[in-house]
Amino acid sequence: MIRVVVIGAGGYSGAELTGLLLGHPNTEVVGLFGSSRRGDNSQARFDRLYPRFRGRTDLTVHAMDLNEIASLAPDAVFLATPHEVSHNAAPTLLEGGLTVLDLSGAFRLVDPNLYPQHYGFEHEYPALLRDAVYGLPELNRDELLDAQLIAVAGCYPTSIIPAVAPLISAGAIDTQAPVVADSISGVSGAGKSPSARSHFCEVSLEPYSVFTHRHGPEINQHCGTRVIFTPHLGAFDRGILSTMHMQLAQGWTEDRVRALLDEKYGHEPFVRILDERTWPAISAVRYTNYCDIALQVDDSNAHLIVVSALDNLIKGAAGQAVQCMNTRFGIPETVGLGQDEPCLIR
């Protein structure tokens, strides 16, 4: 059994993660904690915050205390916390010999100089940025096997990087033209803290953070090329649909691109390359750890469109973190992720 602690258990991603870990046959949840930014979730019974867990656990979400966490002797600690909280907590946890899986963006970028602009704080641990393994098992499985710090990939990047990175690496894309990615996310991606923009009566379909979204550098870093990324807020609770436009390199066709992606992901448990002229839908991936990908080429101008869909709270956060944990501790990746989980949002 792997002894695990979740910090940030009161938020949407943290709650999804806790639910997956409670049902995982190889994990024992030994402690739940809030983040220092979300004191209202401290000292609250988890099953009162999320009533669907009545009868499944009597754990309390405590205020974050790193000494108390160390006393629980966990094997792994999940940080479902704001970026600055992860930045400050991870070094201490790592010094204690723990495996840390961080769901925030605190350790996803290699260049510390990008943090003031995109995350609003100076990064004080550039060595950890170099040591952190990017938590996208389909691309970094071998590196995860002995990782101590895992920077779990972001939700938008997970919908884009698996579709784009293999094509860039294979030379299938003309990189003289930028990759264009338009993504729509459910409002749960904004987190649990209320705001007027995410209010039921106000939420609408609209773009935001045009050219400035903090996931932009992460997408560029792991795709290996410049991606013009535009996020949109959708009037639904969860899920991401991304549409990517690319120009094929000379000699590449739809059949060749499909063969490449089939070879790359044909044996992956959580990436599904859909049949020709079948398109991804959020309804097909909700509450699952799947990422569905489809493609089509306009032969008249060699223009490739790739569309992906995933659940931002599962494959884009909690499920991905569990998949990374499974890989890290030598457990089959699908364990604990094979059943649909009911929605946690009430």
Number of CB atoms found within 10 A of residue 116's CB = 11
Distance, in Å, from the CA atom of 118 to the CA atom of 87, rounded to the nearest integer, reads 14
Is 343 catalytic? The answer is no
> Residue 199: its pLDDT value, please?
72
Contact 312, 155 (CB under 8 A): yes
Distance, in Å, from the CA atom of 90 to the CA atom of 110, rounded to the nearest integer, reads 16
> Residue 36: its pLDDT value, please?
64
The token pair at 204 is: 């609408």
Residues 6+ positions from 10 with CB-CB distance below 8 Å: 34, 38, 40, 41, 44, 46, 49, 61, 192
The answer on pLDDT for 329 being more than 90 is yes
The per-residue DSSP string of 84-140 comes to HHHHHHHHHHHHTT-EEEE-SSTTS-S-GGGHHHHTSS--S-HHHHHHPEEE-HHHH
The answer on pLDDT for 346 being more than 50 is no
* pLDDT tens digits, one per residue of 251-263: 999 999 999 999 9
Domain 155-310: CATH architecture, name and number where available: 2-Layer Sandwich (3.30)
> ∠ at Cα 62 (311, 330), nearest 5°?
50
- What kind of fold does domain 2-153+314-328 have according to CATH? Rossmann fold (3.40.50)
Q: Identify the bridge partners of residue 29 per DSSP, sorted by sequence position.
A: 4
Question: With the C-alpha atoms ordered 93, 99, 104, 107, is the resulting torsion angle positive or negative?
Answer: positive
* pLDDT tens digits, one per residue of 172-185: 999 999 999 999 99
- List, by residue range, all CATH 3.30.360.10 domains of the chain: 155-310
* pLDDT tens digits, one per residue of 16-64: 999 999 999 999 999 999 986 544 455 789 999 999 999 999 999 999 9
Buried b (16+ CB within 10 A) or exposed e, 57-69: bebbbbebeeeeb
> Residue 258: its pLDDT value, please?
98
Q: Identify the bridge partners of residue 19 per DSSP, sorted by sequence position.
A: none
Share of the chain above pLDDT 90, in %: 87
The answer on pLDDT for 330 being more than 60 is yes
Q: Which of 155, 223, 291, 324 is catalytic?
A: 155
